[in-house]
Amino acid sequence: MPSSDDSSGELTSGTRRAAAQPPRASGPPEAGPDPVHQQSQEALHEAEEAVVAGGIGARFRALLGLDSPDFSWTKVLAKQGILLAFVIAMVGFSLASDRFLSFDNFSSVLRQSSIIGIMALGVTIVVISGNLDLSVGSMLSFATILVVDLHDKIGPAPAMAVALVAALACGAINGTLVGVLRLNSLIVTLGMLSAIQGFTLIYSGGQNADITNQSDTWFAFFGRGEIAGIAVPILLFLGLAIILEWVLHGTTFGRRIFAIGSKASAAEYSGINRVKTVFFSYLISAFCVWCAAVVMGSRVMGSQNTVGKGYELLVLAAIIVGGASLLGGSGKISKTVIGVLLLGFIQNGLLLLGFSYWTQWLVTWVVIIVAVWLDVGARRGRLLSPYA
């Protein structure tokens, strides 16, 4: 039997050997490169090189997904239906009328569509957040009457400032009722549509407003002016579209808009202030209405007290055609611009072909139904389904 001294000596030497050995890594061994990941990255890199080398045709195929192994025309129509419809409409009307592609006609359509387009940009943000704003038509009437009526009384700049405050006040009321009190946006804005229109008639006394010295005011620049040969309303429309597109996809506020529209309760649990986000979305919508009112008033140099009647339906139609879901959580400013232009060019093309004015409403109805169908098809992955 070994003695205690021998045992302690063996333990001491064993301890020394253990201490002399380098410590082993406690974590799992380092993993080598994943071959599947490498292959996917190489395939992606090769696809990007093919698109660059292939030019416009390859880019178009990549946009539609023609080279994808699970390619389906149903998916293409569901995701890019609005773009294809716009291209088909432009080609069809250009073949049917030689005046359709003229610069004057293009400029005229863009100028006429700019007012609806400017309003649609703001309402798109509200729709993406999962709400509606049907008060924009009456708000347009109110802001336009204000800026035109006050132009000769206090000057163009103060009149524009008063109209801006009034429009933002209407937007703040909508934002408070929908965001803070959590009332249904359809009911709230439908009620505001009637309330604002009534207040407009009370303010104007049922009379129209006109600017006296129309040729001596710089106010006409916003509706009739040009910069580098391009009408100011067109530049304002495109400029606001670029800014709001960046706001939606390049800022934290934009990501919150999408989050609230997708699932409001989940967004609140994640720490997003729903009240503040919804409130500011209605302020943006009201600001866009004010911009449209300035363009409208300076273009006509006058205003009827019901000038915005029915504009809320045209705005909503353009947004739906643009692919924004009325359920919220999806949509793009760029697609709204295409929707506005599609409706504008369809109406213009029908007039050039000699169709009556009311035919436009029937065609607009068909376009809206098709757009909603494509939106539903994009959500369920197929255009036709036996399930709802």
List phi, psi (to 5°) of 155. 105, 160
Predicted confidence at residue 353, as pLDDT, reads 86
Rounded to the nearest 10 degrees, what angle do helices 56-64 and 73-96 cross at? 130
pLDDT of residue 86: 77
What's the Cα-to-Cα distance from 341 to each of 22, 237, 265, 334, rounded to whole Å?
A: 72, 11, 35, 11
Q: Whats the size of the chain, residue-wise?
A: 388
**Contact call for residues 192 and 135 (beta carbons, < 8 A):** yes
In a domain, 170, yes or no: yes
239 to each of 236, 243, 257, how far by Cα in Å? 5, 6, 21
Greatest Cα pair distance, the chain, in angstroms, is: 122
* Structural domain harbouring 144: 85-380
* Pairing between β-strand 226-227 and β-strand 230-231 as defined by DSSP bridges: antiparallel
Core vs surface per residue 202-211: b (16+ CB within 10 A) or e:
ebbeeeebeb
Per-residue pLDDT, 31? 46
pLDDT of amino acid 7: 45
- Which pLDDT tens digit goes with each residue over 104-145? 888 889 999 999 999 999 999 999 999 999 999 999 999 999
> Exposed (0-12), middle (13-18) or buried (19+): which is 217, by Cβ within 10 Å?
middle
pLDDT of amino acid 57? 54
Distance CA(191)–CA(177), nearest Å, equals 11
In a domain? residue 53: no
Give the H/E segment covering residue 302: strand 302-303
Is 65 part of a structural domain of the chain? no
Q: What pLDDT, on a 0 to 100 scale, did the predictor assign at position 385?
A: 63
- Residue 317 Cα distances to 311, 327, 341, 371, angstroms: 10, 15, 12, 9
Total Cβ atoms within 10 A of residue 188: 23
Residue 54 lies in a domain: no
Q: What is the DSSP string of 185-251?
A: HHHHHHHHHHHHHHHHHHHHTT--EE-S-TTS-GGGHHHH-EETTEEHHHHHHHHHHHHHHHHHHHS
Q: What pLDDT sits at residue 166?
A: 96
- Phi and psi at 23, nearest 5°, equal -65, 140
In a domain, 34, yes or no: no
pLDDT at 41: 56
Identify the segments of the chain with pLDDT beneath 50.
1-20, 22-23, 25-31, 36-37, 40, 44, 50-52, 56
Q: How many domains does the chain have?
A: 1
240 located within any domain: yes
- Say which CATH number the domain at 264 has: 1.10.3470
Measure Cα distances from 84 to 12, 55, 165, 338, 364 in Å.
83, 20, 41, 11, 17
Work out the end-to-end distance of the chain between its first and last CA atoms, rounded to an integer number of angstroms: 86
Question: 232 lies in a domain?
Answer: yes
Exposed e or buried b per residue across 219-240, where buried means at least 16 C-beta atoms within 10 angstroms of its C-beta: bbebbbeeeeeebbbbbbbeeb
With respect to residue 314, please indicate whether it lies within any of the assigned structural domains: yes
Q: What is the pTM of this model?
A: 0.78
